[in-house]
Every structure is written in C-alpha cells, then in structure tokens.
A and B are shown apart, each in its own frame.
Chain A
Amino acid sequence: MADPQRPDLDPASVPTWEEVAHTHGRFLYSLAYRLTGNHQDTQDLVQEVLLRVRRGLLTYQPGNLEGWLSRITTNTFLDRVRKQKRRPTQALPDDPDRVIAGVPSLEEQMAASDLPDHLQQLLADLAPDFRVPVILKDVLGYSYEEIAQQLDVPIGTVRSRIHRGRGRLKAALTT
C-alpha cells in the first residue's frame, strides 16, 4: 500500500539508531503528533520513543521496522497516558448514527479549510483506547490484524474500537 505517511523501508537490514532517527524521524513525529495532538507532548514522546528504539535495536530482528516503530510509539504513548493521567477526555456522543438536522454534511466538512486542525482536535478528544486504533487504521493504513498484533488485543476488540471511535468522530463532526 502506497502511503505518503509511511516511509520506504529496507526490511533486510538493521539500521543504526541514528539512521532510524534521521530516516524515520518524520514518520515518528507525525504519528506522535496525531496521538498527542500538540507539539510539546509530541516532542517529549518522540524523545522517549527514540530512547526505547536505541535500547530495542540491541535485540531487533530485521523485519517490519515500520511496524516495530509504530508499536513502540503507541505503547509509549499509552504508557504515558496511564502514568500521567492526563486531562480527562471529553466524552463525545456515543451514537454514530445520530445526525442533527441542519448541520453541514461530511462532504461539506471535508471541504472546510480548517478541517485538519479541527479533526486533530476531535482525535485528541477521543479516549486513547479508541484514538490509537483509529489512527493506526485510518491515518497509517494498517490492517485490523496488524493493529491487533501491535496493541496485543483481540481483532474483534480492534474492530469494535475503530467502529466506535469513528462513530464518535462522526457524531462530533455533525453536531
């Protein structure tokens, strides 16, 4: 799958820490930003991820480097969420089919010039358990199976969380 947010990778070799940072730093930063929603937390997260990467490279087996980096990033993010007990997430409406009359359609929303920022804010308002799989699926394009492996949860749980996460986003966009 060609995706501009996913860098080209050489699965046959083990890169150095510096190579990972320079080659995949943009990927890590972009993913971290989608997870955290702000640059300060993103930079803290990426720093921590890079340290874990450096340690992990000692035992890394050549393979899906991108998936490995993504797993480290999401796990580090979730660890930080659990540890820091960040600001309470704002509960969004739980009914994905609820549409209020007279509000812009999704197509109209898509055309809005400030949609990326707005969408990012809505992502940030999602509970992390929904936010992470939605980002992995819809922003990065991973399969349900890959996400289940990364997050170490059943695939049914992944599907459910993504469905509910999307539903909350839809409800928020149409209110």
Chain B
Amino acid sequence: MTASDFLPEEDWESDISALLGGLPNVAPPDGFITEALDHRPLHAGRLVAGLGAAVFVAFGVAIGLGGFGQSSVVPELSALNAQHAAASAGGLGTASYDSDDESADDAVEVAPNLDLQARIVREEDLRQAVYDVGGDQVSIFSQPGVVDFDELPSGTIITIEGVTAWEAADDNVVVLQTADYAVTIIGLEPAEVERAIADIPGQGTAAAVGRLVNEFTSQLGFPDLP
C-alpha cells in the first residue's frame, strides 16, 4: 500500500470497487490447462494451422536445403522490414514490388490446401515468403549462413523448441538459426512464432522435415531434397 492508496475515494467509487471485488473466479474448462501445456490449438484454428504450416515450410526449407556454406549473416532488418511493408501494402497475389526473378509469380500458390497464400521472391540468396494469415501478413525470409546474433540490434536471445532465436525489443521480428540458414520472420509476435513451431508435428526429426520439404519444394520453386 502506498500513500496514494489512502487518498479518499468518493462513495460511488467504493461502491463500484466493491461490485468488482465481488466478481467470482472463473474456472477454466476441464482439461484446458493440460491441453494448453501440450500446445494443442483450441480455437485458434486457421491462425495456428496457418502459422504452423508457414513456419513449417520455412523450417523445412531451411533445414532441408544445405550446401550454401557457413558464412556469417546479419539480416538487414530495416531492409527486410521495408520489403515486408512493401509486400504487405500491395496485398497478396498482385505484383506489388519488383523482382528480377520471373519465376516468383509462378510460386505464389503455396500449400493451398492449408488455406494459405504466399509469394516467394528470390533475390540472389534471399528468399521471401509472404503469407496472409487471418488477415495479417507475415513475411518469412531465409538466407544462407550462420546468424551473427552479436551484431543484431538490441533484443533478446531465446530458445524456441531447441532453436536459437532473437526477438526484437519492440517490433514483431524474430530471427532464427536453422541449420545453414538464417530465417527472419516479420509480422508475428514472438509468442505466435513459438506457438506455431511448437504445433509443428514431428518438428525436430530429419525424416519429418525431409518429407515436408519434398512435399512443398516443387510449389516453392526450390529443388527437391536429394
């Protein structure tokens, strides 16, 4: 209690406070906490499924396609943010910004059975997938190399399902290190990224990732796994 807590309140304020103080506890449904601990999506439905698929693709591609070496990478976040903003402003399915890669428009339809739309843009080694998830637009960038976390701006280093990641202090930006790739996800809160990754079935097993990559790579325009 502080001095300000003892300042007089008007009677009507005390009445309102008493009313609110009398509100009963609200118990969670039976089994809810256990299910929440198991990461099972409850009502998020399309959102979680969509994010899971999106991140799954990013992980699959990042983990499944190696051979680019281990050069140090510091994602240029301002540039990626601008690229994300440009893509988001243009909406999906339209030519919202230039790309020299004509095959980009051929790779728009990704995982249509998962109710996602995406555009893949490849500029040299940088790849961007733009997803429309529940009305929010999310970009996933991947580029070969090992993230130099020390060179990223002020943020927090975290571990998501065993994967090292960095989250921005204020913006919805997460940078992940997966195998030979730096993956930057823009437009999702870190907790949503974590939830999406946690909901990926079989994530962490090479075989599952391999199957997934082979399932999606033709649509993504990437080569199949050996």
Judged by a CB distance under 8 angstroms, whether A76 is at the interface is yes
Q: Apart from A22-B33, A26-B28, A43-B36, what are 10 other A-B pairs with CB-CB below 8 Å? A: A30-B27, A46-B28, A47-B42, A47-B44, A76-B191, A96-B12, A110-B22, A143-B1, A159-B7, A173-B19
Q: How far is the CA of A175 from the CA of B15 in the complex (A)?
A: 16
Judged by a CB distance under 8 angstroms, whether A155 is at the interface is yes
Q: Give me the interface of A with B, judged by CB distance under 8 Å.
A: 4-5, 17-18, 21-22, 25-26, 29-30, 33-34, 39-40, 42-44, 46-48, 50-52, 55, 58, 76, 79, 83, 96-97, 106-107, 109-110, 115-116, 119-120, 123, 134-135, 137-139, 141, 143-145, 155, 159, 163, 166, 169-170, 173
In the complex, 22 of the A-B residue pairs with CB atoms within 8 angstroms, ordered by the A residue number, are A5-B25, A17-B37, A22-B33, A26-B25, A30-B25, A34-B23, A39-B29, A43-B29, A43-B36, A43-B42, A44-B43, A44-B44, A55-B160, A55-B190, A83-B189, A106-B19, A107-B15, A119-B20, A120-B23, A137-B17, A139-B20, A166-B16
Check A47–B20 contact: CB distance below 8 A: no
What string of 1s and 0s marks CB contacts (under 8 Å) between B23-60 and chain A? 11111110011001100001110000000000000000
Which among A44, A115, A144 is the interface contact of B4 at CB below 8 angstroms? A144
Judged by a CB distance under 8 angstroms, whether B198 is at the interface is yes
Q: By the criterion of a CB under 8 Å from any partner CB, how many residues of chain B are at the interface?
A: 41
Give the residues in chain B near A52, CB-CB below 8 Å.
191
